[in-house]
Structure 1
């Protein structure tokens, strides 16, 4: 779609994309999402004969969101696209590409904040126990590569649950990022922000086992902690498939994926008494409001227990 834009639009969008990647340090995935939203804005604006983004008006932006709503986009999607538009128009003014900022007056529907799915304590134990049994089964099978994959998968699950790190953060870990003496892992998060996240003895033991048999996968992924079957740095899609597959081993457990383990780790930390600021730092959230959604999860569980147990609920 971007190739069909008039020159003024194409130039502005290319410059903004470079700004997002180089100056704001956003991930490739986030930059692509922004660009996709703005490509749609450009197409809509050009259809309204606005061939220069500097000439955008509030009516054009409202028309864009209205058209998205007519197409059945969710409130969450509309809110995200409105935010993308506001950031773009503000950047246009800051860089002298526009005289006025119509996005500053653009309202958007409040998104429904869905409670993230989490695993129960028993489900987590069953998940990790099942993964450990797979390691033992492969150990008797005689195939070093198959055993290495099973041990790797257990280490991935243990580390995701122990730290609550994102799947992309896990995939980008290098061996030097693991501090086994202190029991912490150095993580490079969104916006190229670095943080240290602790992990406990079960994750440390699983990592030790994995690093011991990691050479069985003919490693050529350099310093990567986790590698795939062919030896290269593991791909996020492989991690997602692994988590989904291992959750299938647990009867009644929701199919949440790696982000579900992140939600679970945060919720269990708060339920165990961790304060919100500490959890925010561990998860690498820029805003405390993002972390606060987990307090709603805990409150929902408390209300459910109250309704079941209290005689006058």
Structure 2
């Protein structure tokens, strides 16, 4: 029977021997805690068997009404723990032996930020001027936003950066992503690069130098929750609703690159995806762009002058902000294009 001691031993095994990341171990801990609460509440007196697993699965789906991806993660965490118990503890068969579980998660479209919102958000106003000698909290936030849209970094990757991770005349940044995979991202914009160099000089010349690249007001490392709060306040000040999240900048970076013809394998390398299939979710937006181009061309109207040309183009597209992005394509923000970035920033 699985208990708190077994769960803690399994978590120690994941952290010490499998060398899993702190975030993964935290997620495992939450998943196992949720199962133990369910297991103790049922109190059937039986060992963890197939019926227990199936009851837990129904509980997650029907009673808790969790998302399919969350249900799958919690069940797979339980399976990994029981497999570990069989191998290192009891040696008894796993309740998952003989079970064929199917998880069908909906294919979600990435929530990219439309071009007009990006322009408004990245517009350099008096409230966030480019500093000359020092960087305020707002100036650092403004710089971080543009780095996110150019590099596609995850929020944890960005806040985990150290000054020593910047090299090659301050134009390249070494990033350690999921699975401790190392990759290089680039500051591919002249104006942003010039400001980033000023920021680095300010950090290196600080009276209280520290290892982290992006500090908070107290000089400590900026945390993901603090950055999310900063972005939420900035959106509120610019009347952007609903407020944006840092991960939407990652989606927007990938979407803009795909929309502007960058090879998908290059986008995969930039984002640090282990599988190309993960990057392919961004091709959906490209399909929308193709659809919009075909509607604009309207071949049938050119071949048959009597055919009506007043078709509403938006009927072919879902009612999403990304459709407005395509409708305003001449003003689209092009990542890495100095002229386009200059007009936006």
TM-score bin, normalised by smaller chain: 0.7 to 0.9
- Equivalence for 1:129: 123
- Equivalence for 1:260: 248
Q: Give the 3 Å change call, closer, same or farther, for CA 250–293 of structure 1 in structure 2.
A: farther
Alignment of 1:151-162 (within 5 A): 151-162=139-150
Q: Secondary structure at the match of 1:102?
A: coil
Alignment of 1:82-93 (within 5 A): 82-93=75-86
2:51 to 31, 50, 59: 59
Deviates more, 1:99-108 or 1:77-86: 99-108
For the 8 Å contact 2:259–2:285, the answer to whether it is kept is: no
d(CA) in 2 for partners of 1:278, 1:175: 25
Q: Give the 3 Å change call, closer, same or farther, for CA 108–92 of structure 1 in structure 2.
A: farther
Aligned length: 298
- Equivalence for 1:3: none
Deviation of residue 112 (structure 1)?
1.7
2:92 to 83, 93, 99: 99
d(CA) in 2 for partners of 1:77, 1:206: 41
For the 8 Å contact 1:37–1:84, the answer to whether it is kept is: yes
Alignment of 1:185-264 (within 5 A): 185-201=173-189, 202-214=191-203, 219=208, 222-248=210-236, 250=238, 255-264=243-252
Q: Secondary structure at the match of 1:223?
A: coil
1:176 aligns with 2:169: no
**Structure label with greater radius of gyration:** 2
- Equivalence for 1:286: 274
Q: Structure 1, residues 231-251: CA drift from partner, whole Å, max 9, x if none?
A: 111111221122233334556
Deviation of residue 81 (structure 1)?
1.7
d(CA) in 1 for partners of 2:264, 2:188: 20
d(CA) in 2 for partners of 1:186, 1:137: 25
Q: Secondary structure at the match of 1:150?
A: helix
Alignment of 1:69-88 (within 5 A): 69=61, 70-88=63-81
Deviation of residue 298 (structure 1)?
3.0
Q: Give the 3 Å change call, closer, same or farther, for CA 127–182 of structure 1 in structure 2.
A: same
Q: Secondary structure at the match of 1:135?
A: coil
Q: Where in structure 1 are there 5+ consecutive unaligned residues?
A: 1-5
Higher relative contact order (CA 8 A, sep 6+): 2
d(CA) in 2 for partners of 1:228, 1:243: 14
d(CA) in 2 for partners of 1:88, 1:302: 46
Deviation of residue 165 (structure 1)?
0.9
- Equivalence for 1:119: 113
For the 8 Å contact 2:112–2:248, the answer to whether it is kept is: yes
For the 8 Å contact 1:45–1:51, the answer to whether it is kept is: no
TM-score, structure 1 length as denominator?
0.81
For the 8 Å contact 1:151–1:210, the answer to whether it is kept is: no
2:103 to 89, 105, 109: 109
d(CA) in 1 for partners of 2:129, 2:170: 28
d(CA) in 1 for partners of 2:88, 2:153: 35
Deviation of residue 138 (structure 1)?
7.6
Deviation of residue 32 (structure 1)?
1.8
TM-score, structure 2 length as denominator?
0.74
Q: Secondary structure at the match of 1:229?
A: coil
Q: Give the 3 Å change call, closer, same or farther, for CA 306–92 of structure 1 in structure 2.
A: farther
